[in-house]
Amino acid sequence: MRRLVLLLPLLLSAAPLPPPAQPVRLAILGDFNGPYGSTTYPAPLARSVARIVNEWRPDAVLSPGDLIGAQKASLGDAQVRAMWAAFDRDVRAPLSRAGIPFVFTLGNHDASPRSPRDRREAATYWAAHVPPLAFVDRAAFPFRFSVTLGDGAVFIASLDASGPDVRAGQRAWLAAQLASPAARAAGARLVVGHLPLAGVSAGKNRPGEVLREADALRQVMEAGGVLAYVHGHHAAFYPARLGRLNVLSAGGIGGRDYVGHPGTARSTVTLLTVWPAQGRATFETVDAATGQPVDPASLPARLDGLNGPLVRVTDFR
Which CATH number is 48's domain given? Answer: 3.60.21.10
Q: How confident is the model at residue 16 (pLDDT cuts 50, 70, 90)?
A: low
Predicted local confidence at residue 26, as pLDDT:
98
Q: How confident is the model at residue 18 (pLDDT cuts 50, 70, 90)?
A: low
Is 11 contained in some domain? no
Domain containing 172 equals 24-316
Predicted local confidence at residue 1, as pLDDT:
44
Is 1 contained in some domain? no
Is 156 contained in some domain? yes
Q: Which helix (H) or strand (E) holds 4?
A: helix 2-13
Is 5 contained in some domain? no
Is 15 contained in some domain? no
Share of the chain above pLDDT 70, in %: 93
> What mean pLDDT, rounded, does the chain reach?
94
pLDDT tens track for 61-90: 999 999 999 999 999 999 999 999 999 999
Q: How confident is the model at residue 125 (pLDDT cuts 50, 70, 90)?
A: very high
Name the residue type at position 274: V
CB atoms within 10 A of CB 176: 14
Is 225 contained in some domain? yes
pLDDT tens track for 261-303: 999 999 999 999 999 999 999 999 999 999 999 999 999 999 9
Q: Taking 90 as the threshold, does the pLDDT of residue 19 lie above it?
A: no
Instruction: Say if residues 140 and 98 touch (Cβ distance below 8 Å).
Output: no
Is 275 contained in some domain? yes
| Residue 141 exposure: Cα atoms within 13 Å on the Cβ side | 18
Q: What is the mean pLDDT of residues 246-275?
A: 97
SS3 59: coil
Q: Taking 80 as the threshold, does the pLDDT of residue 203 lie above it?
A: yes
What is the number of domains present in the chain? 1
pLDDT tens track for 29-58: 999 998 999 999 999 999 999 999 999 999
| Residue 308 exposure: Cα atoms within 13 Å on the Cβ side | 20
Is 3 contained in some domain? no
